[in-house]
Structure 1
Amino acid sequence: MHRLTRWATAAALVLTAVAALPAGASAATAAAHSCRAATSLGRVRGMPQEGRCAYLGLPYAAAPTGERRFRPPQPVVPWRGTLEATAVKPGCPQDLGAGGTGTEDCLYLNVWAPQASRARLKPVMVYLHGGADELGSAADPVVDGGRLAERGDVVVVSLDYRLGILGWTELGGLDPAYAGSGNNGLRDEVAGLCWVRRHIASFGGDPAQVTVFGQSAGGVSISALLAGDRPERLFRRAVVQSGPGYLVHTADSARATAAHVLATGGIHGVADLDRLTTRQVLELQQRAESGTSGPAGAVFFGPYIDGSLVPGPVVERVAAGSARRVDVMTGTTADETDFWAMFNPRLLDLPLSAYRAIPPVLAPRRQQMYDRYAANRPGLPEGRVVNAMLSDQIERVPTLRLAEAQSRWRPTYVYRFDWHVPYVPGLPAAQNLGAMHTLELPFVFGTLVLDAYPRGPQTVAGQRPALTAMSGRMMDAWTSFARAADPGWPRYTADGRATRIWDLEPSVRHAPGEDERELWDAYDFPAWDGRP
């Protein structure tokens, strides 16, 4: 099969063609005419958006439909005339209720660029969305890139990639011609980054100054790419938000997950899968995942160590210098697993006896570890303490391992997001949640869309000036890192462990939670093996 494993080199810069305006043209007409670009694929017309241009729904790869289903992404065919890039495209197929949503023709991206003169090319930030590699979309209003582009004077890109069975199921066991298909979602992301390197100069972006940033599943993909062959050919800097390399799957795990999916659907050949409609694929996916929930359900799909695109375990590869030419910033939220308690409040009551996910090498010390965590959280119920341990196992500690490994080679920075919707005494525990997974996103993008969180909209309405100021500081840090590899706090090193704490009043702490981090030293966090 054809493999998309060649990294793109910087392409020749293509200057934007701007139509001449008649004398006396209105400001609105001038803005509309300024939102034009000429690429080697064809001309593009975007839309003015509060002092910037939004180019929405640009194809970065051919539609993965028909004979291209379950195949690596293929190049876009150039178009004639002018492509109207004024509306976002539906995301990739995903189950968001009865019938699901999205379309298999989904390999599109969006570009937000300042309208100012393009004489000076601007840094580029490419966002990979989260959603457990089975949900999410670049069209999510929480991650609209317009405000970030305008405040930071950068070009922001977001893209969709194949999800679930269609993007992350290894079919090489059915047909060797499909070997590696379990990383097709990752290949989509690589194709999008290649598109950026080749064409972003047409939109005022500097292809030599690309920062990729992603949260959750998007962050895990970035971690996987950092373990690849010379990732600097795709991007110069990377921001990994709650997406540690520990969650990149082993090959055995990927094969077992695929076997489970195929057995669930009685699939005996790729032709059987090809005959399924999109809705039938989503129904099969739902049946295969039944019984998984919480953090475990969030890693059912994902990139895996295939020996080529992802040659080996992330931290091991990064420690050996795989990303020695890439600057990295990474971090987590303070209470990651509270996110899943929104959907299953019983997770907050998880007793220590049910904490079976702890690595076997640490299982004999489980009670000792719990006692340390509990001593640091006096008065909290057992379930809350266990969730703190689980958050550290899945997110914080492996994130710090990545940072420590990369700090040997390049400037590396670590943050922790501590702000949360204020607690209200007397409410159920599931309504009083901490700094959960995903909560930093409305602040990084400046959208302040907190509709998905308990009491989020009311909190924004009551604290808008303070939250806007905090969001502005975070946007400045992300864009400063993209521009100069310096977000504004000291570098992370194994001896100092400087960490930016994001709250209404930000601070820098050295080695926060060190006594708990040390409890995990006996485990090397190699790769996720979550065989169904």
Structure 2
Amino acid sequence: MHHLPIARRDLIAGAAALALVRPARAAPRTADPVVTAPAGRWRGTTEAGVHVFRGIRYGVDPTRFRFQPVTAPAPSRDTLAATDFGPSCPQRANIDDQNEDCLFLNVWTPDARRGANRPVMVYFHGGAYTTGTVVDPLVYGHKLAADGDVVVVTVNHRLNALGYLYLARLDPRFPDSGNVGQRDQLLALRWIRDNIATFGGDPSRVMLFGQSGGGAKIATLLAMPDATGLFHAAATMSGQQVTASGPLNATRRAQAFLARLKATPAEAATLPIARLVDALAAEDPILGGGVYMGPVLDMRSLQRHPFWPDAHPLGRHIPLILGNTREETRAFIAPQPDLHWTNLAERIAPQLRVDAPPEWVVAQYRAQFPAMTPEDILYRATTAGRSWPGQVIEAEARAAAGSPAWVYQLDYASPVRPGGRAAHTDDIPLVFGTLDAPGSMSGTGPAARALSQRMMAAFVSLATHGNPGRDWRHHTLPTRATMVFDTTSQAVNDPRRWERELFARFPYIQPGT
């Protein structure tokens, strides 16, 4: 492993990052901000020196158009209150205010006025394609908008069966049903293109970023013809979409869902939403467990897999950050007090996304890292064989195509989580600056603040300039330069070469495909 030291170290890095993040320009705060845009007129609030507009409708109520794309609402002549978040999509999760009428976005801006021309950063939430919401303090945009001098937009859209139930082969009246959630995102991006200038944003500098399922949604958008020109840079955080669900498997999943629902597609289009949410417990006929929902290769919205057999030509020109955390699966796999060498392989087996002999995997890790404990290997091996391969494939596909890409690995150990280490979702508060939000595992000490400023600055730089900074090298082959974010951040060539090569001998199949 070859290290490339860079001059900035911990506090120096934080100071340099602050220099990259321009201070927000002051604006009069004598009254609630009001914006008049082509799509309507809204009154927001001023909070922490930032203009905030919550719950702006970007799509008509989809309740009457279940399993179908919808259009933008007609412009309103009235001044609408944009002071409360809109509902989140119905789902099997403990999230308040769920409603099928969920096509709303939120805007944070240092100064809601035309001509400010700030970069725009649009966030899509995680939760695979089945759960999640942007109504979460972890992804509130106050800090990022103020410190980064950018416009932040967060988007809710249809999920699970409402967004991805592929019915086209069962009922021709629903030809786009397998990608309705993706088409909602396109509708939101068109709204941003047409209206964001009046909120102080620059529609020619729109960057998408998303964590987990949000990153996968962005990888899918990179392969969608209708997304062309709607965004100009992107960052995926622990979320990839190498391949989409094939139409035959997606149809089998729809049949399993409808069997649980005891309904035809036409009947499902009018049933109470609670019935559909309950039917999500149907067993997946391919993967087992709950029925999978995700984008479908329907040859309409999506005509080719995003990263198979290579990086989709449509998205190759988009500057892209790809990141992951060192031990992703610490967020999924609970601590196991009874774990020991005799049952480690058994515990690893169901967590892998490659068909590798788990006993052999354990033996390889023990030989390579003799000081590791069973717990160490559990999280390292399941991360390398489950959560990481998709990112490796995407990064190498971009490198092979000569496309601009930068890769990061978050190593910063949580001071809050038992066992520490860097797990899935740990990068969210670092990028948003929401270190003290409920659910954050970053802590609020000097190291966390410095790292947050460093990561925030890199993302803002991508939105502003199309690159994350001069000290972050492109990810190319065979060097595989990677920015390792930690209390001391540094560029490292191929930092997990041994693990990458270990799992590269087994084909990776995207869950859902």
**Equivalent position of 1:39 in the other structure:** 37
Letter aligned with residue 508 of structure 1: A
- Which deviates the most, 144-153 or 111-120? 111-120
Counterpart of 1:476 in structure 2 is 457
2:474 maps to 1:499: no
Q: Distance in 2 between matches of 1:379 and 1:287?
A: 43
Deviation at 1:431, TM superposition (A): 3.4
Contact 1:54 1:113 in 2 (8 A): yes
Return the offset for 1:522. 3.6
SS in 1 for 2:280: helix
439-448 vs 407-416, which moves further: 407-416
Gaps of 5+ in 2: 1-25
CA distance in 2, matches of 1:419, 1:307: 42
Asked whether 1:153 is paired with 2:146, we answer: no
Partner of 1:335: 327
Percent identical among aligned pairs is 33
Pick from 131, 136, 143 the counterpart of residue 140 of structure 1: 136
* CA apart distance, 1:481: 1.0
Please name the residue that 1:466 is paired with: 447
Give 1:251-330 correspondences, 5 Å limit: 251-267=247-263, 269-288=264-283, 300-316=292-308, 318-319=310-311, 321-330=313-322
Q: Can you list the C-alpha shifts for 1:274-316, whole angstroms capped at 9, x where unaligned?
A: 34212222222235579999xx76x822222222322222222
Match of 1:180 in 2: 176
Find the aligned partners of 1:34 and 1:286 in 2 and give their Cα distance.
45
Which letter maps to 2:122? V
1:62 to 46, 60, 63: 60
Matching of residue 225 in structure 1 with residue 206 in structure 2: no
Where does residue 441 of structure 1 map in the other structure?
Answer: 428
**Displacement of 1:263:** 1.2
Distance 1:313 1:522, change over 3 A: farther
| Equivalent position of 1:487 in the other structure | 468
Which amino acid in structure 1 is aligned with residue 486 of structure 2? D
Of 391, 402, 411 in structure 2, the residue corresponding to residue 409 of structure 1 is 402
* Equivalent residues in 2 for 1:180-219, closer than 5 Å: 180-219=176-215
Give structure 1 stretches of 5+ with no counterpart.
1-27, 424-429
Distance of 2:367 and 2:109 partners within structure 1: 49
Indicate the SS of the match to 1:220: helix
CA shift, 1:101, in A, is 4.6
> 2:245 corresponds to which letter in structure 1?
H
Contact 2:62 2:101 in 1 (8 A): yes
| Contact 2:430–2:455 under 8 Å retained in 1 | yes
Cα gap change, 1:402/1:390 in structure 2, threshold over 3 Å: closer, same or farther? same
Deviations 1:319-352 (A, max 9, x none): 352312211101111111111124x858977732
**What amino acid does structure 2 have at the position aligned with 1:56?**
R
Whether the 8 Å contact between 1:252 and 1:529 is mirrored in structure 2 is: no
Quick one: distance in 2 between partners of 1:116 and 1:56?
13
Rounded to whole Å, the distance in 2 between the matches of 1:116 and 1:482 is 18
Structure 1 partner of 2:20: none
Q: How does 1:503-518 map to 2 (within 5 A)?
A: 503-518=486-501
Contact 1:373-1:388 within 8 A present in 2 as well: no
- 1:121, distance to aligned residue in structure 2 (A): 0.5
Deviations 1:89-132 (A, max 9, x none): 121112335x9750111100001111286534011111000012
Asked if structure 1 preserves the Cα contact closer than 8 Å seen for 2:411 and 2:486, the reply is yes
Separation in 1 of the partners of 2:47 and 2:248?
Answer: 47
Structure 2 Cα separation of the partners of residues 77 and 47 of structure 1: 24
1:75 and 2:84 correspond: no
Q: Counterparts of 1:352 and 1:254 in 2: how far apart (Å)? A: 31
Are the counterparts in 2 of residues 47 and 54 from structure 1 also a CA contact under 8 Å? yes
Q: 1:37: Cα distance to partner?
A: 1.4
Distance (whole Å) between structure 2 residues aligned to residue 287 and residue 201 of structure 1: 44
CA spacing shift, 1:254–1:345, aligned 2, 3 Å? farther
CA 1:317/1:57 → structure 2, altered by over 3 Å: closer, same or farther? farther
Residues 519/193 of structure 1: CA separation in 2 closer, same or farther (3 Å cut): same
Paired letter, 1:108: F
Task: Provide the rounded CA distance (Å) in 1 between the counterparts of 2:33 and 2:460.
Answer: 23
Per-residue CA deviations over 1:234-287 (Å, capped at 9, x if unaligned) read 2111101111123633333322221211111222x2232134212222222235
After TM superposition, give the deviation of residue 450 of structure 1 in Å.
5.8
Cα gap change, 1:399/1:106 in structure 2, threshold over 3 Å: closer, same or farther? same
Of 415, 418, 440, the residue aligned with 2:411 is 418
d(CA) in 1 for partners of 2:169, 2:297: 16
Between the aligned partners of 1:248 and 1:435, the Cα distance in structure 2 is 28
2:476 aligns to what SS in structure 1?
coil
Deviations 1:430-454 (A, max 9, x none): 932531111110111001146436x
Tell me the distance in 1 between the aligned counterparts of 2:33 and 2:163. 33
Q: Could you state the TM-score of these two structures normalised by the residue count of structure 2?
A: 0.86
1: CA distance between counterparts of 2:237 and 2:409?
10
**2:364 aligned residue:** 372
Q: Secondary structure at the match of 1:390?
A: helix
Q: Determine if contact 1:44/1:82 at 8 Å carries over to the other structure.
A: yes
1:212-255 per-residue CA deviation (whole Å, 9 max, x = no partner) reads 11111111111111122374412111101111123633333322
The residue type paired with residue 101 of structure 2 is D
Mapped to 1, the partners of 2:165 and 2:39 lie a distance apart of: 31
Secondary structure of the corresponding residue to residue 182 of structure 1: helix
Q: Indicate the residue corresponding to 1:452 in structure 2.
A: 439
C-alpha RMSD over aligned residues: 3.0
Task: State the partner residue of 2:108.
Answer: 112
What letter matches 2:260 in structure 1?
A: T
Q: Could you tell me which amino acid in structure 2 is paired with residue 439 of structure 1? A: D
